[in-house]
Amino acid sequence: MRVAADDSTSGRWKRAVREFLYGLAGYEIAQQALEIRASMERLFMLGVFGDMLGVPILPPYYGLRLLPYVVPQVATWKRGLLRERELGSDHEHHLHGL
């Protein structure tokens, strides 16, 4: 019984150290990658389905062929794109090492 308790304690320590190192070294990189992916996805949706908002970039034929794949994302994309923003509000001001 004592060995099982030591294993769980060492496992918790290993997990805590792993999570600390991830937060120290990898968290900011992962967050930035998610932000870049979201902005690229917004640009793609604008290019393909911009005619829904009055911005015709591609002919509607290609948008209609892709529409069944992106139907679940259209409502959140419209809401995010039409949200009122200030200049420079799309990027958070990261502290980079502080």
d(CA 51, CA 64): 11
Q: What is the pLDDT of residue 92?
A: 60
pLDDT, mean of residues 8-16: 91
Q: Which two tokens stand for residue 92?
A: 């958070």
- Cβ atoms of 74 and 81 within 8 Å: the answer is no
Q: Which residue has the higher pLDDT, 75 or 82?
A: 75
pTM score:
0.56
- Each residue of 28-65: pLDDT tens digit? 888 889 988 988 888 888 888 787 777 777 677 777 78
Q: Which two tokens stand for residue 64?
A: 């209609």
Q: How many residues does the chain have?
A: 98
Single-letter amino acid code for the residue at 50 = G
Question: Which residues fall within 8 angstroms of residue 35, CB to CB, at 6 or more apart?
Answer: 91
- Cβ atoms of 57 and 46 within 8 Å: the answer is yes
